[in-house]
Structure 1
């Protein structure tokens, strides 16, 4: 290894150890063990430009082992991405750009928020799928305008998590040759040797998924690491999995190769010993010699040339293929979907009673003709979820141009892959399954919300209306759980207009994911439903003057509330019905608007929803009541369950009467 390369690698180690020690918090093991991997990849193989971190054709790098964030922060600092030495010194402190785990949108150069192990692996698969789909759409002979790799670095923990197997099984099936996985195999987890719980042959598993597998015996051998990366690139039919044997906490005599190197500062004496063992001649914390900074700057300058060449090619591409250039601009135009506001076809009237899942399916097919970058699918449930784009074709190894993704029965990986699709850029992605299985998706949904990714989740079979499949398939608490998540819009529409409004909100959102919660059973079109649904809650059926009571409902129960209103009006009571398809959007409205819909003076309120009562207290208050379900369902026809569990107009009317 050249002296300058050795100094450059050790700079990563020293900066990481110093930052973690100063914070008295962090994970030094991965940065020390993987410093050579990071340097070799970023310096000699990865296509990136620190001067333009969002360049569309850059290679993507995901640190799936997000606990090792100081590896990434050190690379970003040394390569000139804008992280200063002061940022490193403020690692894990209030307001710092260097959070404990990498956060997308918070720190320039971070491609994905990582930390929950395995999710970064799956998001990388999504990025590679996006690259393949966009390349098949835009590339022309002599014009590879989309041509880049996705690299992901993770360790034993990422490989133990089931989500990585789900995602890699799909990646192998799809033959995503632009995906390169770097496996930090240090054989240590928090409790000790991985032999305690993890003795499988990981490479054989990955080979069975359809990956090329490569082994590097010495994680400090830059030449061997580089040769492995180039061998991975040379395989154009399979994704590649590179096992790199590393030593956790490398360079620290008392910690190297031990579990204690994983998740705690080395300690002052051990940091000093690290310097001595690495023959690092500088005692000053956070000190990097000028020759190292010059080396990184020279590399970064060379990296910029790749973008310059791409820009020249793209300029020629726009001249030769002006229609494709215009399409490219649409794919990358965040406001393109706003044109749907005045589109009569999109807002087509509902002609008969239909399930909102079917109405959503019709909307998806309208969207497919108007938003060319719509891309998504289901976890093996497209016929039930109604998510298939009829003329979209199937995304497959043989046809990356297909727009319908078949995720297989892999809900966890599906949600994370959806995040990866959105992180890549250029696509409007959706994923889908039964609503009760949103439990499988929730950790990845949480990252969608945390990263501000407008990914759309299509959840069907939204209540006890599932019927005969019984309590295992009937969601109860799921809606309240999703509503509790910050920065997630949860829509449960009552008819076509509200379903269209939900899709409009999802497609025009720039920083909030959306969950559409849709019925299995048919719902009649509701007089009074309108684009006001975009306010989250609105008056769908009113009375003259001040109401005596207010009924609030969502989805299939809006119709039940309207029928109850008729019963009560016949008794001389004035009733207002409020449709509440999205509580999050309603809560964001002005105080004046909320007062106009739910006047504080009207205390008699009843919420009707065939799911948990949790959360409705915010709207019915101490004086109100709910017609909800706070126990598991049963196996019977859906219509019978609604009657048995009290979701009838007469029972709702009786509940209102009890307030007088």
Structure 2
């Protein structure tokens, strides 16, 4: 090895990052090694020299945020977390990818101290850092006063070719450029290799020019091992305050491997003991023990902890001054960052005879916004239809980030993933809206919300065939069951305005579960018996039969009105049924057996489910002898009411079908 000058200590530290990555992947006999070997210098430059962070307090409010969008290279992040002093031990590195370890195959928020976001699916890390950068700018505009800048940090990411090819990344980066997010810096690990071979086999675009046209500052570092040039590029990025910065760093995948570097063969597989030793020899690594960390490297990284403690202490002193000068704002800031704001009740009353649940949602959302200062969100170019605009607030612009409304544009997937990032940052309750049928575009981001336990709210309107003439492309059929199939997602389809109010209370107070509120376009009656407690329990008896019930009609959404009308028709024939509103399967399933049996008694075989969507899943609630009035074909273009009648969604047909069911079960 060369004499350990200051510069060569940095090189030794980079080499240690690489060798720890090699050893971890070899121990696991699984994992992606190519990216960590190529990107180690830029990651070192960030963690050692650039990031404002305190490893002893990973949740310090004003830390810089870093997200490894190239999540398959997770061992690179875990190695740096260990070296910089986070609660990630050498044993954790040795347990890489093992069940229950702090070092899972991809970064998982909530598992590993210092990991800000779960980044498995390529591309989604980019919108999440865009969301974090939006959150930083919004909170800074809202809370910073005079020279007391309590929100003043950067957001960084390392991404790869795959991230930039994914459409969701491009959606988000386009919006980031439009909003001029100058405190967002993305380092692009440009190694020209994908899993199947060369990037040029499928993509020959000029990345630099492309992102310039999107409003980004772009910088090229031609040698990914040149720490000085990487450092200079990051500093240039920090100086540009009106544009986000993309730093393209040309690297070699699997750097140092004599037989595999620069090829797809080192992308996602361990290299074996022999090749691992050859790589270490190429680095001039003369330590034989695996997982070795030279003392000089430990000393080099110790400065991170010292700087982190110093930076947080300075911020704490600043915040004390802020608390003295702006005590109410300081309290609000802390409560927002800790997600401690809860709403116990809402004053909104619906006196209209009929109102669409989407309209009721807009009214309730605006009352919530008046009580929850941290709420921001928007729609994918459908705010007037989704009723998602906060009326007393401006729209966010690059000139003024105080606005709580965001124009997301026609970017459904990007919108959902950005909202995840906004929520992960802390200090903000995020929501977004579009038509239910377009939840297909967003599904992977919704799934990430559920995995990460991020309590964002999805507002999905135009919930059924009742939207009418737009036809089958816009009429959701399978979407409800598709969302209900997702773990840790509360899907709530309210029957009326009051159930909609209850749904928003559940969503606003959620701590670890995202909520999808499913809303209708057409007017429905405001129901006298709608119950907040019933919605909170997922299902309840909304209309009891005049005499002892011979069966139950279960419905959701606007179909509850039809079920109650069918109940009256049946009563005129001396057939008595209970009507159950069941807005949320997930919440109902969480209740104890006594409650569930009180709503859906097991001794009543005659259970008829009515919902304008797929019948899949209803068997659990109607039992083996029950029946459904549902839709298992795509819709049609035409008047919504006429289409509903054609498909049997009338009180008369519901009553008729119940009589048939009752006779069958005699």
Superposed pair shares fold, TM > 0.5: yes
1:200 to 200, 205, 208: 205
CA distance in 2: counterparts of 1:628 and 1:90, whole angstroms: 49
Q: Which runs of 4+ in 1 moved over 4 A?
A: none
Partners of 1:563 and 1:649 within 8 A in 2: yes
Q: Secondary structure at the match of 2:468?
A: helix
Structure-2 separation of matches of 1:101 and 1:350: 51
Q: Identify the residue that residue 594 of structure 2 maps to in structure 1.
A: 592
| C-alpha distance after superposition, 1:202-236 (max 9, x if no partner) | 11110000000100011111100000000000001
- Give, in angstroms, the shift of residue 333 of structure 1: 4.6
Q: Does 1:209 align with 2:219?
A: no
Question: Residue deviations 1:350-378, cap 9 Å, x none?
Answer: 42211100000000111111111110000
Pairwise CA RMSD of aligned residues?
1.0
In 1, the alpha carbon distance for the partners of 2:638 and 2:275 equals: 66
Residue by residue, what CA displacement relative to the aligned partner does 1:146-195 show, whole Å, maximum 9, x if unpaired?
Answer: 01011011100001101111101100000000110100000000111111
Q: Secondary structure at the match of 2:423?
A: helix
**How far 1:570 moved relative to its partner?**
1.4
**1:329 Cα deviation after fit:** 3.0
**Residue of 580, 585, 593 corresponding to 1:578:** 580
Match of residue 169 from structure 1: 174
Instruction: Map 1:211-250 onto structure 2 (within 5 A).
Output: 211-250=216-255
Change over 3 Å in CA distance of 1:350–1:626 after alignment to 2? farther
Structure-1 separation of matches of 2:492 and 2:345: 21
- CA distance, structure 1, for counterparts of residue 16 and residue 332 of structure 2: 44
Contact in 1 for aligned 2:338/2:426 (Cα 8 Å): no
Counting only pairs closer than 5 Å after superposition, residues 293-372 of structure 1 correspond to structure 2 as 293-337=298-342, 340-343=343-346, 345-346=347-348, 348-372=349-373
Cα offset for 1:327?
2.3
Equivalent in the alignment of 1:389:
390
Partner of 2:3: none
Structure 1 residue 42: deviation in Å? Answer: 1.1
Counterpart contact for 1:102–1:110, Cα < 8 Å: yes
In 2, are the aligned partners of 1:334 and 1:508 still within 8 Å (CA)? no
State the alpha-carbon separation in 2 of the partners of residues 38 and 388 from structure 1.
40
SS in 2 for 1:626: strand
3-state SS of the aligned residue for 1:317?
A: helix
Aligned to 1:648: 650
- Aligned residue for 1:178? 183
In structure 2, how many angstroms separate the alpha carbons of the residues matched to 1:548 and 1:335?
46
Matching of residues 91-490 of structure 1 within 5 Å: 91-337=96-342, 340-343=343-346, 345-346=347-348, 348-490=349-491
Deviation (angstroms), 1:392: 0.8
**How many angstroms apart in 2 are the aligned matches of 1:392 and 1:316?**
29
Give, in whole Å, the separation in 2 of the partners of 1:18 and 1:396: 47
| 1:88 alignment partner, one of 67, 90, 93 | 93
In structure 2, C-alpha distance between the alignment counterparts of 1:638 and 1:462, rounded to whole Å = 12
3-state SS, counterpart of residue 377 of structure 1:
strand
CA 1:38–1:367 in structure 2 vs 1: closer, same or farther (change >3 Å)?
same
Match of 1:564 among 566, 574, 584: 566
Q: 1:6-21 maps to which residues of 2 (within 5 A)? A: 6-21=11-26
Are the counterparts in 1 of residues 61 and 337 from structure 2 also a CA contact under 8 Å?
Answer: no
Measure the CA separation in 2 of the matches of 1:453 and 1:539. 31
1:299: how far off? 2.4
TM-score, normalised to structure 1, is 0.98
**1:546 positional shift:** 4.4
Distance across 2 between alignment mates of 1:29 and 1:547: 66
Give the whole-Å Cα distance in 2 for the aligned partners of 1:611 and 1:547: 26
Deviation string 1:583-617 (CA, Å, 9 cap, x unpaired) is 10000011111011011101110100011111111
Structure-1 residue corresponding to 2:640: 638
Superposed CA deviations along residues 258-278 of structure 1, whole A, max 9, x for unmatched, are: 101101001111111111111
In structure 2, relative to structure 1, the CA distance for the partners of 1:619 and 1:379 (3 Å cut) is same
Q: Counterparts of 1:375 and 1:395 in 2: how far apart (Å)?
A: 10
Unaligned 5+ residue runs, structure 2? 1-5
Q: Deviations over 1:297-321 (max 9, x none)?
A: 2322122211110110110111112
Deviation at 1:474, TM superposition (A): 0.4
* C-alpha contact 1:385 1:460 (8 A) present in aligned 2: yes
C-alpha separation in 2, matches of 1:436 and 1:452: 24
Measure, in 1, the Cα distance between the counterparts of 2:338 and 2:207. 41
Deviations 1:593-642 (A, max 9, x none): 10110111011101000111111111112101100000000011111111
**2:69–2:124: 8 Å Cα contact kept in structure 1?**
yes
Q: Is this contact kept in 2: 1:63–1:153, CA < 8 A?
A: yes
Structure 1 runs not aligned, ≥5 long: none
C-alpha deviation, 1:426, in angstroms: 0.3
Matches within 5 A, 1:496-515: 496-515=497-516
- 1:658 corresponds in structure 2 to 660
Aligned residues of 2:554 and 2:608 also touching (Cα < 8 A): yes
SS in 2 for 1:243: strand
Distance (Å, rounded) in 2 between the aligned partners of 1:557 and 1:619: 17
Asked whether the equivalents of residues 527 and 540 of structure 1 are also in contact (C-alpha less than 8 Å), the reply is no
Give distance in 2, aligned partners of 1:229 and 1:352: 60
Aligned pair count reads: 656
Contact conserved, 1:350 with 1:496, CA < 8 A, in 2?
A: no
- In 2, Cα distance between equivalents of 1:529 and 1:444: 32
1:529 positional shift: 0.6
Structure 1 residue 544 displacement after superposition: 5.2
Contact 2:379–2:432 (Cα < 8 Å) also in 1: yes
Report how far residue 6 of structure 1 moved. Answer: 1.3
1:4 aligns with 2:9: yes
Give the 3 Å change call, closer, same or farther, for CA 649–619 of structure 1 in structure 2. same
CA deviations on 1:236-266 (whole Å, 9 max, x unpaired) are: 1111010000000011111111101101001
d(CA) in 2 for partners of 1:547 and 1:9? 74
The answer (yes or no) to whether the contact 1:380–1:409 under 8 Å persists in 2 is yes
Distance 2:184 2:338 in 1: 26
Question: In the alignment, which residue of structure 1 is the partner of 2:518?
Answer: 517
TM-score scaled to structure 2, two decimals?
A: 0.97
**Deviation of residue 543 (structure 1)?**
2.1
